[in-house]
Structure formats: C-alpha cells, structure tokens
Amino acid sequence: MHWSEQLRAWWRRWRTPRSLGQRGERAAARHLRRLGYRIIRRSQRTSAGEIDLIAVDGRTLVFVEVKTRASHDKGHPAEAVDRQKQARLTRLALGFLKRHGLLEHSARFDVVAVTWPVGERRPTIEHFQNAFEPHGPGQMFS
C-alpha cells in the first residue's frame, strides 16, 4: 500500500465516529492499564465469538468482558453477562489457552461495566474481578 493510501485509510479511521461499545472498550482498557494490567489482545475474534480484552494481571491471564450502556434504564451493564454468555466466554477462553499452550497458567474472568451517558465526557467504570466461574465442559482454570 502506498503511503498516501495509508494516510487516507488512517484519516478515515480517525474521523469515523466510534460506537458506544468501542468507546467503552477503549475506556475499559485504559482503566485496566492504570491498575497495572497489561493488555495483550483486544477484540479477539474467532468463528465462535469474541473476547473483548485479554490482559495479564501479575501472573494471571484475565479474560475481560466489557459491557457499555448509556444508562441503567434497562438494567446494569454487568447484568447482560448471563449464564449463556459466561458459557460462551468459557469456551472461547479455553480455546485461546489451548491454542497458545497456556492451559497450565491461572486464568480468571473479569467484567467491566461502563456507563456513558449521552453528552458526558467521561464514563463511570465498575470493574468486577473474578466476576464468574467457568461454565460448561472443560473447566481447566485454576
């Protein structure tokens, strides 16, 4: 790709407004970095689904689900991480651990709830460490 095409592509990405979910995910990543986490993957997609953030906290691999809402009118953002979502995240995390030879490492699931009202410059961020236990077959987390 020629440098002028790269510049145009960058400009389009920069000018394109981010969705509420994308803004929430970026805010969650900043929040986790401030806490000392190291973000190693963002939006880890497979045919089975997506893990929002994968981070390292000390010696623990952390699979992070980020839920962003403009208000609590339809419930708290973290309530959207129901049992079915937890089972899907468990399968995705197990696949990641297997692919990268990390089954012997400790891992956990965190949920970051972001509430970002329309017109506000900054969101409210709530971080739930170890938010749920793995669900479904193949629970190889320690």
pLDDT of residue 121: 86
Q: Would you give per-residue pLDDT tens digits along the chain (142 residues)? A: 677 888 777 666 666 557 888 899 999 999 999 999 999 999 888 888 999 999 999 999 999 999 999 999 888 999 999 999 999 999 999 999 999 999 999 999 999 999 999 888 899 999 999 999 997 765 554 4
Contact 65, 50 (CB under 8 A): no
Q: Please give the full DSSP string across 60-75, using - where no structure is assigned.
A: EEEEEEEEEES-STT-
The residue ranges of every structural domain in the chain are 19-128
pLDDT of residue 142: 43
Query: For the CA atoms of the chain, what is the radius of gyration?
Result: 17
- Fold entry, domain 19-128: Trna Endonuclease; Chain: A, domain 1 (3.40.1350)
pLDDT of residue 82: 94
